[in-house]
């Protein structure tokens, strides 16, 4: 009989907390599929860097396991409170406490086992979706095949059993310690303080708003200097943000009351009085949970945005950094060994070798003064190449030649910098003084020819071939070692280069040594400049690397955020739904007073809407300016438009998941209220 | 007749040292086997606390309670469940049936815990249900039946294992007058025919008039004690009303 009771209780519990049950199931599905993906041989063979994927996912899974533990613990506490009377009856009927607690354990094992089973089935399906996405990113053919990873399965089960086991044991202890009297009268005890009074409410509210504004401005200030981000300022912003959020949610309920209840005109309008009384008392007792959720939402939104910014940067820099399949720099201009190898091992379409000249920095740097791009010109020099080389490079990637007279100059830069340079030219005239000679800026180009490190930094100049003797006279040696690598070889091959090609080329060249003297940190040092320093670059190899990081970053970010949003929304849903018993009575009073069902559903909708809106209100408002500020340090490769696009995308995903929970809660709540009135 | 229950100068305090509420302030009485005893009093007079102490739901602050010479204030935690299921039956105001179990299962639950044979359980439950007029709803769930039926189901659950003492806390509180009367008739019949000892807390004089002995509580003490003796139920009812008007408080206007 007790077994039957456990089983029926489990069924009822799963139905009453269906949202919670589904969340746990989906979470298990996600954990399993991501671990499955991370341990998949297909994935780890894609690139050397995919090895990190495994580590990242395993670490993130632990964080996620803790979050799920939080949810399960919270829900179980709730369920236990709800069922305290039932447990009291068991005891009064004379059922041994150990039987009661083992019944509770059995119930939860049944629920847990079903969630685990469905979760793993779901995970197997999700895995197929995920792996086809990954294969698509790497442009690899992939056919759905039924594989199974025991490692991932065991890991998932281990996480789950650990979390679940500990929580069940904890609650079992609680039941064993419980007293009938307390259980029987616990409902009465809870009603002692419906409304906690917060002193100096208005002052706290004002203070919290100030703190939030402070954090926004500190972030804006901190990130306006490019990548020189002060850790202390970030810490200040973070602390004021978190404290601000907590104070905001502690004082908001008083504010709602002030606004709606203490004003007679608003109070008696429609159902305001009932609605905001309900809300204020709930928000008041929930303020800490709500603040925690809000802080989590801020982290999710900002984290997702940063991950997307990083991905944008990776993608865009890829284009800027590697316009040619193979790019080699040397100090002496002797490329015979390289060319020999490349010609032998690949199908060369075209190649070109040239020299890049280093001159003193021109005033054009002023154009970048308020941007983070300026940091990229840390070596304080400018670079020049001659027109014929420039045209040859253009031709290699399919651009037509340009003409240039002796006193003219072309600025070739990256697209994110061209706006600033054009603006500078507009304000200061289209002349530039280089090597004490005035040149007319003929045009500003933003063709990607490797002007981020390979051919100069951010921009390089192009002069007529006749001018090159003059430039040579004014050439300076950079105090930065890489600038002595002034001889360049670029090659386009018919087939894309691969990691293997790159590795082979490197090991072939490694027989050489490039001993080199450079001044670094003011001290003259001898370096062994090896290939790994970036003297030999291959696009194919780099793309593989980039795609790996891209995959790792985006998959991890989505993995964590999805589960965290779901867990938070579930928490809100459970809070509301478990209170529906209490609300049922309140709404019954409304109904007895003559309110019809339509109006009641409207109030329910409003109540749940505001309840779900509150914890995301501050995160949404505050994260937009913060993300825009952080976006500043990515301006090198990411355009403003892309940042806005990211924000919209993140909010899109966030609101999609969040509103599913909102709607589910609303529907369930209405059902609960209307059930037995 | 032998004393089944002896309450020996018990006290029950609530609150801290500075602010003590004496819910029960030195109560002693005894109950004989086969009695139907009522406890009356205004709200806050300590009647539910007294019931809770006797039913081992709450602990006394001092004093002793003996059931068949066994001191139930001294029973330790491990034995309490066994004690309850072997000696006590409970009837609550709000029924407290388990809504995941059918009526039949609710009644049979204690027997299964006591490891009674399957066949005997079926017979016993059906026999009792027939007596209480709930044999046709045995397969229904508590939320599918009326309040009166639920309370009769609770009565069946309380007496199925032949407890020595039935404790009823405002058993008619949630029932309409017809169902209440029906229930009280049943309790009376149980008491007279099966010699079940019943201790019932109530604030309703009509309900109390079914008992054959009533204790009146006021501010945690026994204020008065009356017995039915050879009186008719009507006479006993008037007798109760007289005491209640003396008692004052909530009962001032009952007449």
Contact assessment for residue A291 and residue A249, using Cβ atoms and an 8 Å cutoff: yes
Distance CA A433, CA A155 (A): 64
Shortest distance, CA A100 to any CA of chain B (angstroms)? 11
User: What would the mean pLDDT of B101-105 be, rounded to a whole number?
Assistant: 89
Least confident of A21-35, A220-234, A266-280, A352-366: A266-280
Average pLDDT, chain A: 83
Distance CA A431, CA A360 (A): 16
Q: Sorting pLDDT into bands at 50, 70 and 90, what band is A107?
A: confident
User: What would the mean pLDDT of B226-255 be, rounded to a whole number?
Assistant: 80
Question: For residue range B24-47, what is the model confidence (pLDDT) as tens digits?
Answer: 989 999 999 999 999 998 888 888
The confidence score (pLDDT) of residue B235 equals 92
Longest dimension (CA), chain A: 105
**pLDDT at residue B109 above 80?**
yes
The confidence score (pLDDT) of residue A192 equals 43
The confidence score (pLDDT) of residue A481 equals 46
Distance CA A203, CA B66 (A): 60
**pLDDT at residue B249 above 60?**
no
* Residue of A4, A85, A97 with shortest CB distance to B81: A97
Question: For residue range A177-222, what is the model confidence (pLDDT) as tens digits?
Answer: 888 877 777 655 444 444 556 567 788 888 999 999 999 999 888 8
DSSP A574-588: HHHHHTHHHHHHHHH
Using the beta-carbon criterion (under 8 Å), do B85 and A91 form an inter-chain contact? no
Question: For residue range B195-217, what is the model confidence (pLDDT) as tens digits?
Answer: 889 999 998 899 999 999 999 99
The DSSP bridge pattern shows strands B165-169 and A515-520 to be unpaired
User: What would the mean pLDDT of B230-244 be, rounded to a whole number?
Assistant: 91
Using the beta-carbon criterion (under 8 Å), do A97 and B77 form an inter-chain contact? yes
DSSP letter, residue A260: I
Q: Mark out the alpha helices in A515-639 (DSSP H runs).
A: 539-578, 580-592, 597-631
User: What would the mean pLDDT of B223-236 be, rounded to a whole number?
Assistant: 91
Q: Say if A4 is an interface residue toward chain B (CB within 8 Å).
A: yes
**Which chain A residues contact residue B58 at CB under 8 A?**
181
Q: Say if B100 is an interface residue toward chain A (CB within 8 Å).
A: yes
Average pLDDT, chain B: 88
Contact assessment for residue A338 and residue A489, using Cβ atoms and an 8 Å cutoff: yes
The DSSP bridge pattern shows strands A357-360 and A381-386 to be antiparallel
Contact assessment for residue A529 and residue A362, using Cβ atoms and an 8 Å cutoff: no
Identify the CA nearest to B95 among candidates B130, B69, B134.
Answer: B134
**Which chain A residues contact residue B88 at CB under 8 A?**
94
Q: Is B3-251 assigned to CATH 3.10.100.10? A: no
Structure tokens at B73: 């204030």
What is the interface pTM, i.e. ipTM, of the complex?
Answer: 0.85
**pLDDT at residue A532 above 50?**
no
Using the beta-carbon criterion (under 8 Å), do B110 and A180 form an inter-chain contact? no
Q: Which residues of A180-196 are buried (b: 16+ CB within 10 A; e: fewer)?
A: bbebbbbeeeeeeeeee
For residue A92, the chain B residue with the least C-alpha distance is: B84
The confidence score (pLDDT) of residue A561 equals 92
Using the beta-carbon criterion (under 8 Å), do A93 and B101 form an inter-chain contact? no
User: What would the mean pLDDT of A222-227 be, rounded to a whole number?
Assistant: 71
Distance CA A225, CA A233 (A): 12
Using the beta-carbon criterion (under 8 Å), do B55 and A12 form an inter-chain contact? no
DSSP bridge partners of A360:
A381
* Residue of B52, B77, B100 with shortest CB distance to A8: B100
**A168-172, A242-246, A671-675: which has the highest mean pLDDT?**
A242-246
**pLDDT at residue A475 above 70?**
yes
Q: Say if B122 is an interface residue toward chain A (CB within 8 Å).
A: no
Which of B99, B100, B158 to substitute to test the interface with A, most A CBs within 10 Å? Answer: B100
DSSP bridge partners of A658:
none
* Residue of A4, A85, A93 with shortest CB distance to B110: A93
Using the beta-carbon criterion (under 8 Å), do B81 and A94 form an inter-chain contact? yes
The DSSP bridge pattern shows strands A357-360 and B197-201 to be unpaired
Q: Sorting pLDDT into bands at 50, 70 and 90, what band is A141?
A: confident
Distance CA B194, CA B188 (A): 10
Contact assessment for residue B241 and residue B203, using Cβ atoms and an 8 Å cutoff: no
Distance CA A56, CA A59 (A): 5
Using the beta-carbon criterion (under 8 Å), do B96 and A5 form an inter-chain contact? no
**Which chain A residues contact residue B98 at CB under 8 A?**
5, 86, 89
Size of interface A-B (CB pairs under 8 A): 58
Please state the three-class secondary structure of A335-354 as a single string: CHHHHHHHHHHCCEEEEEEE
DSSP letter, residue A533: G
Q: In what order do the strands lie in the sheet with A437-445?
A: A357-360, A381-386, A459-463, A408-413, A437-445, A431-434
User: What percentage of chain B carries pLDDT values higher than 70?
Assistant: 96
Provide Rg for chain A, Cα atoms. Answer: 32
Least confident of A108-112, A283-287, A609-613, B118-122: A283-287
Distance CA A641, CA A233 (A): 27
- Distance of CA A577 to CAs A384, A615, A617, A666, Å? 69, 17, 21, 9
Q: Say if A359 is an interface residue toward chain B (CB within 8 Å).
A: no
**Which chain A residues contact residue B100 at CB under 8 A?**
5, 8-9, 12
User: What would the mean pLDDT of A149-172 be, rounded to a whole number?
Assistant: 88
Burial of A62 (0-12, 13-18, 19+ CB in 10 A): exposed
Q: Say if B6 is an interface residue toward chain A (CB within 8 Å).
A: no
List for chain A the helix, strand, coil content (%; round to 5): 70, 10, 20
Helix (H/G/I), strand (E/B), else coil: A70: helix
Q: Say if B135 is an interface residue toward chain A (CB within 8 Å).
A: no
The confidence score (pLDDT) of residue A14 equals 77
Which of B109, B111, B162, B167 to substitute to test the interface with A, most A CBs within 10 Å? Answer: B109
Shortest distance, CA B53 to any CA of chain A (angstroms)? 10
For residue B105, the chain A residue with the least C-alpha distance is: A1
Helix (H/G/I), strand (E/B), else coil: A228: coil
With the C-alpha atoms ordered A160, A166, A169, A175, is the resulting torsion angle positive or negative?
Answer: negative
**Which chain B residues contact residue A7 at CB under 8 A?**
none
Q: Say if A506 is an interface residue toward chain B (CB within 8 Å).
A: no
The confidence score (pLDDT) of residue A657 equals 93
The torsion of the CA quartet B96, B100, B105, B111, rounded to 10 degrees, works out to: -70
**pLDDT at residue A401 above 80?**
yes
Q: Say if A110 is an interface residue toward chain B (CB within 8 Å).
A: no
The confidence score (pLDDT) of residue A530 equals 47
More confident: A647 or A578: A647
Which of A4, A14, A94 to substitute to test the interface with B, most B CBs within 10 Å? Answer: A94
**Which chain B residues contact residue A12 at CB under 8 A?**
100
The confidence score (pLDDT) of residue A97 equals 86
* Residue of B85, B98, B100 with shortest CB distance to A94: B85
Using the beta-carbon criterion (under 8 Å), do B55 and A92 form an inter-chain contact? yes
Shortest distance, CA B223 to any CA of chain A (angstroms)? 26
Q: Sorting pLDDT into bands at 50, 70 and 90, what band is B79?
A: confident
**Which chain B residues contact residue A93 at CB under 8 A?**
84-85, 90, 109-110, 113, 157
User: What would the mean pLDDT of A423-438 be, rounded to a whole number?
Assistant: 87
More confident: A423 or A518: A423
User: What would the mean pLDDT of B1-25 be, rounded to a whole number?
Assistant: 83
User: What would the mean pLDDT of B52-77 be, rounded to a whole number?
Assistant: 90
Q: CA angle at residue A509 from A384 to A314, to 5 degrees?
A: 55
* Residue of A91, A93, A96 with shortest CB distance to B109: A93
With the C-alpha atoms ordered A504, A507, A510, A511, is the resulting torsion angle positive or negative?
Answer: negative
């Amino acid at each position: 009989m007790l077994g039957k009771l456990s089983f029926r209780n489990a069924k009822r519990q799963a139905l009453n907390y269906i949202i919670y049950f589904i969340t746990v199931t989906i979470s298990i599905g996600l954990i399993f599929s991501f671990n499955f993906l991370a341990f998949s041989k297909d994935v780890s063979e894609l690139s050397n860097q995919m090895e990190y994927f495994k580590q990242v996912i395993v670490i993130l899974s632990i964080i996620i396991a803790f979050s799920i533990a939080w949810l399960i613990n919270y829900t179980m506490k709730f369920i236990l409170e709800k069922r305290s009377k039932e447990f009291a009856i068991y005891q009064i009927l004379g059922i041994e406490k150990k039987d009661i607690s083992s019944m509770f354990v059995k119930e939860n094992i049944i629920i847990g086992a079903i969630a685990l089973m469905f979760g793993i089935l779901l995970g197997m399906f999700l895995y197929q979706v995920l792996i086809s996405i990954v294969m698509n990113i790497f442009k690899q053919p992939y056919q759905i095949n039924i594989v199974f990873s025991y490692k991932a399965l065991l890991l998932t089960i281990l996480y789950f059993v650990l979390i679940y086991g500990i929580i069940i044991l904890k609650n079992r202890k609680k039941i064993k310690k419980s007293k009938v009297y307390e259980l029987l009268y616990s409902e009465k005890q809870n009603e002692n303080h419906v409304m906690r009074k917060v002193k100096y409410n208005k002052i706290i509210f004002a203070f919290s708003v100030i703190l939030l504004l402070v954090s926004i401005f500190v972030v804006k200030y901190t990130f306006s200097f490019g990548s020189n981000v002060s850790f202390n300022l970030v810490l200040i912003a973070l602390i004021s943000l978190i404290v601000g959020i907590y104070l905001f949610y502690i004082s908001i309920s008083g504010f709602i009351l002030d606004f709606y209840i203490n004003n007679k005109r608003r109070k008696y309008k429609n159902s305001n009085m009932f609605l905001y009384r309900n809300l204020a008392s709930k928000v008041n007792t929930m303020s800490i949970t709500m603040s925690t959720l809000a802080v989590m939402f801020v982290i999710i939104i900002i984290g997702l945005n940063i991950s997307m910014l990083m991905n944008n940067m990776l993608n865009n820099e890829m284009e800027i950094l590697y316009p040619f399949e193979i790019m080699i720099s040397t100090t002496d201009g002797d490329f015979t060994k390289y060319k020999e190898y490349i010609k032998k091992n690949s199908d060369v379409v075209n190649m070109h070798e040239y020299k890049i000249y280093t001159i003193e920095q021109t005033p054009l740097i002023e154009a970048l003064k308020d941007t983070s791009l300026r940091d990229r010109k840390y070596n304080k020099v400018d670079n020049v190449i001659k027109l014929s080389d420039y045209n040859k490079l253009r031709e290699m990637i399919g651009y037509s030649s340009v003409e240039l007279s002796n006193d003219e100059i072309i600025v070739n830069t990256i697209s994110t910098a061209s706006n600033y340079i054009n603006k500078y030219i507009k304000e200061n005239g289209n002349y530039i003084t280089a090597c004490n000679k005035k040149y007319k800026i003929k045009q500003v180009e933003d063709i990607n020819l490797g002007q981020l490190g390979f051919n100069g930094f951010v921009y390089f100049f192009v002069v007529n071939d006749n001018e090159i003797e003059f430039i040579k006279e004014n050439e300076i040696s950079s105090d930065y070692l890489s600038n002595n690598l002034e001889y360049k070889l670029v090659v386009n091959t018919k087939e894309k280069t691969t990691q293997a090609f790159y590795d082979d080329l490197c090991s072939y060249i490694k027989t050489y040594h490039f001993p080199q003297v450079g001044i670094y940190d003011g001290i003259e040092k001898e370096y062994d400049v090896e290939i790994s320093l970036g003297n030999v670059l291959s696009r194919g190899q780099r793309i593989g690397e980039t795609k790996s990081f891209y995959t790792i970053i985006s998959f991890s970010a989505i993995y964590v955020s999805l589960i965290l949003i779901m867990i938070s929304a579930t928490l809100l849903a459970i809070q509301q739904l478990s209170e529906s018993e209490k609300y049922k009575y309140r709404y019954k009073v409304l109904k007895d007073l003559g309110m019809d069902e339509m109006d009641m559903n409207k109030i329910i909708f409003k109540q749940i809407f505001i309840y779900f809106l509150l914890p995301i209100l501050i995160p949404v408002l505050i994260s937009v300016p913060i993300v825009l500020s952080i976006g500043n340090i990515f301006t090198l490769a990411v355009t403003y438009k892309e940042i806005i696009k990211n924000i919209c995308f993140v909010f899109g995903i966030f609101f999609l998941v969040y509103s599913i929970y909102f709607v589910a809660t609303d529907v369930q709540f209405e059902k609960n209220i209307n059930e037995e009135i | 007749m032998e004393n089944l229950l002896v309450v020996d100068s018990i006290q029950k305090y609530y609150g801290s040292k500075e602010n003590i509420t004496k819910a029960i302030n030195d109560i002693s009485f005894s109950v004989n086997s086969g009695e139907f005893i009522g406890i009356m009093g205004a709200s806050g007079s300590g009647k539910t606390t007294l019931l809770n102490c006797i039913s081992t739901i709450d602990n006394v602050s001092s004093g002793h309670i003996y059931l068949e010479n066994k001191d139930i204030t001294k029973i330790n935690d491990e034995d309490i469940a066994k004690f309850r299921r072997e000696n006590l039956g409970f009837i609550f105001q709000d029924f407290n049936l388990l809504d995941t179990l059918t009526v039949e299962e609710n009644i049979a639950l204690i027997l299964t815990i006591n490891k009674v044979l399957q066949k005997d359980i079926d017979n016993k439950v059906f026999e009792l249900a027939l007596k209480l007029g709930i044999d046709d709803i045995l397969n229904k769930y508590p939320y599918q039946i009326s309040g009166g039926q639920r309370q009769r189901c609770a009565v069946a659950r309380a007496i199925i294992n032949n407890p020595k003492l039935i404790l009823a806390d405002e058993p008619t509180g949630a029932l309409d007058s017809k169902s209440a009367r029906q229930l009280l008739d049943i309790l009376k019949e149980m008491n007279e025919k099966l010699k079940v000892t019943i201790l019932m807390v109530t604030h309703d004089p009509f309900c109390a008039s079914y008992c054959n002995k009533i204790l009146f509580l006021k501010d945690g003490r026994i204020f008065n004690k009356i017995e039915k003796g050879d009186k008719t139920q009507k006479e006993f009812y008037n007798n109760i009303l007289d005491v209640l008007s003396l008692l004052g408080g909530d009962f001032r206007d009952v007449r």
